Amino acid sequence: MKTLLQEIALLSSIEATLDWDQETYAPPSSVTFRAKQSSHLAGKIHALKTAPSFQEQLQVADLTPANRRELQHQYDRATKLPQELVERASETASLAKAAWMEAREKNDFPTFAPHLEKLLEIAREQADHWGYEEEPYDALLAEYERGAKTSEVATLFDSISSDLAEIAATAVEKSKSIPQDFLYGPAPVANQIILNREVAESLGFDFQSGRIDTTAHPFCTTLGPHDVRLTTRYDENDFLSSLFGVMHETGHGLYEQGLPADDFHLPSGQAVSLGIHESQSRLWENHVGRSEAFWQRWLPRAQELFPHLKKISFEDFMTAINRAAYSAIRVEADEATYDLHILLRFKLERALLSGELEVADIPAAWNETFASFFGFHPQNDAEGCLQDIHWSMGGLGYFATYSLGNINAAQLFHTAMKDTRADFQKGDFIPLLSWMQKQVHAHGSIHFPQDLMIQATGSSTSPEAYLNHLRSRFC
C-alpha cells in the first residue's frame, strides 16, 4: 500500500509541477504537448486510484483508522463513477469552458446555456453514483467539504444573510465619505517583490521550501512535501492588491507547509477541506493583514518602499484599506460584501441541482437575488451570471466553501487570540502560526472539518465570531 500511495503522490505532484510551469513560465506554443503530458499522467493516476489492487491492499495495510477511512472513501468515490461518465465529464468541461469564454465575451448567456445543461446532467449522474442522504447537492459538496450537509450549510447561510446584507449596506454607506485615492501611487514591481517577501517571511512562510512567482490568476500549489509555490500579479500603481493577494496565498501556503511532511502520501498529510483551507488564507489576509497591529509594524516599511504613502496618517490609511463598496464582480468584492456573492451562487446552484431552477431562467434569478442583496442590477450577464469560471469547469458545489472559509477564519482567529500572547505590533505573528499549526495543520485529514473546528474552537462552524468581526470593523 505504501508503495502504491507513494506512486500516486509522486505522479500527482509531478502533474502539479507541469501545471505550475504552464501557468508561470511555459512558452505559448508548448501548450498542446503539455496537455498530452498532463493527460497521460492523469490517466495513470486515475488507473492507480481505481485499481482492484488498491482495495486489496487497503484491506491488509498497516494504517491508522483515519487514514483507512479516508482512503476507503476516496477509493469508493473514484470507483463509483463509470469510465464513460468520467470521460464525458472531462470532454464536456473542455467544450463548456471554451463556450463560457465566448459567452462572457459576447455577453450572451444562450451560448453557454446548452453546455451548462449537459454539465448539470453530468453532476446529477455523478451525485446518483456517489449517493447522498438528503439531496444531490450533498454528493457534490462532499468533494470539497467532507462530512458537510447541504441543508446545514443552507441553514447557516440563511441565519446570517440579513445580517450580512445589513453590515454590507452600513459599510458601503459609511465608506462613501472615506477617501482612498491617496493609497494609489508609483509602486515599482521590484519594491513590491521586496515587501511581499518580507511580509510572507514574517508570517512564517519558509522560502527554503517555497517561492512566489507571477501569474495572471494568483494561486497556491504544492509540488512536494517541502515545495509550496505561491503566485501573485502586480499593479504598478497599487501595491496593496498584490500584497493582500500574497497574504491570502501565504495563508494557503502556511497550511500546506504545516502538514506532516512524512505523511505526504497519506490523508493524514493532506489538507482536510476547502472550507478549512480558505479559513487559513482569509485569516492571514483579513484578520491579520487588515488589522491595525499589522500596519503598525509594516506601514513604515511600506512608506520607505512607496514614498507617496508618507503623507498619509496611520488613521487615514487604516480607514482607507477597510473601505467597502458594492461591486457586481465577486473577485473585486471587499470583505464587507463578499459573502453576499457566495450566498447568491449557493442558492442558485442548489436550486439548479434539485430541479427547482431551469438553466434558461438563471439570468433572471441571478439578477433578482442580486438586487435583493445589493440594491441594484448587474449591467449585463457578463458581469452577472457569466462572471465565474467554476460552473464551466464542472465545479458545482464549490462556492459555499468560500464563505465557510470566512466564517471558520473568524472563529479560529477569535479562539487563537484568547490562547496566545502574540506581540503583533512588533510584527511577531509566529505565535498565531504556531497555534494554527498545532490546532489545524498538524491534523491533516484525520478529523472531519467540523470535528476539527470543534476540537480547535469548542464548537462547529458558527457565525458569531464572524459577524462580530465584521461589525467591529465596518459598523
Catalytic residues: 249
Site size for a copy of itself, by CB under 8 A? 34
> Which regions of 352-429 does DSSP assign to beta strands (E)?
none
Q: Decide if residue 188 touches a copy of itself (CB under 8 A).
A: no
**What does the CA dihedral 411, 473, 166, 328 come to, rounded to 10 degrees?**
-90
Residue in 4, 19, 26, 471 binding a copy of itself, rule: CB under 8 A: 26
- The residue written with cell numbers 453530468 in the block is 122
**What does the CA dihedral 333, 337, 339, 340 come to, rounded to 10 degrees?**
-110
**Do the beta carbons of residue 71 and residue 22 sit within 8 Å?**
no
CA distances from 125 to 81, 121, 396, 397 (A): 9, 6, 13, 14
Q: Which is nearer to a copy of itself, 199 or 359 (CB)?
A: 199
**Do the beta carbons of residue 365 and residue 357 sit within 8 Å?**
yes
Residue in 19, 37, 143, 197 binding a copy of itself, rule: CB under 8 A: 37
Find the shortest distance in angstroms from Cβ 29 to a copy of itself: 4
**Do the beta carbons of residue 218 and residue 231 sit within 8 Å?**
yes
Q: Decide if residue 42 touches a copy of itself (CB under 8 A).
A: no
Put residue 147 in one of left, alpha, beta given phi > 0 → left and psi -120 to 50 → alpha: left
> Which regions of 370-471 does DSSP assign to beta strands (E)?
none
**φ, ψ at 380 (rounded to 5°):** -165, 175
Residue in 2, 33, 188, 419 binding a copy of itself, rule: CB under 8 A: 33
4 CB contacts (<8 Å, ≥6 apart)? 48, 51, 53, 54, 57
Q: Where does this chain touch a copy of itself (CB under 8 A) — which range of 7-15, 181-189, 235-243, 414-422?
A: 7-15
The residues facing 361 across adjacent strands are none
Q: Decide if residue 13 touches a copy of itself (CB under 8 A).
A: yes
Q: Decide if residue 18 touches a copy of itself (CB under 8 A).
A: yes
Per CB under 8 A, contacts with a copy of itself among 191-210 are: 206-210
Q: Which is nearer to a copy of itself, 40 or 426 (CB)?
A: 40
Q: Decide if residue 34 touches a copy of itself (CB under 8 A).
A: yes
Find the shortest distance in angstroms from Cβ 284 to a copy of itself: 20
Q: Which is nearer to a copy of itself, 10 or 51 (CB)?
A: 10
Q: Decide if residue 4 touches a copy of itself (CB under 8 A).
A: no
CA distances from 376 to 169, 227, 330, 366, 379 (A): 12, 45, 15, 12, 9
Per CB under 8 A, contacts with a copy of itself among 251-280 are: 264
Residue in 27, 52, 65, 458 binding a copy of itself, rule: CB under 8 A: 27
Q: Decide if residue 25 touches a copy of itself (CB under 8 A).
A: yes
Q: Where does this chain touch a copy of itself (CB under 8 A) — which range of 98-106, 148-156, 167-175, 219-227?
A: 219-227
Q: Which residues bind a copy of itself (CB under 8 A)?
A: 7, 10-11, 13-14, 17-18, 21, 25-30, 32-34, 36-37, 40-41, 206-211, 213, 223-227, 264
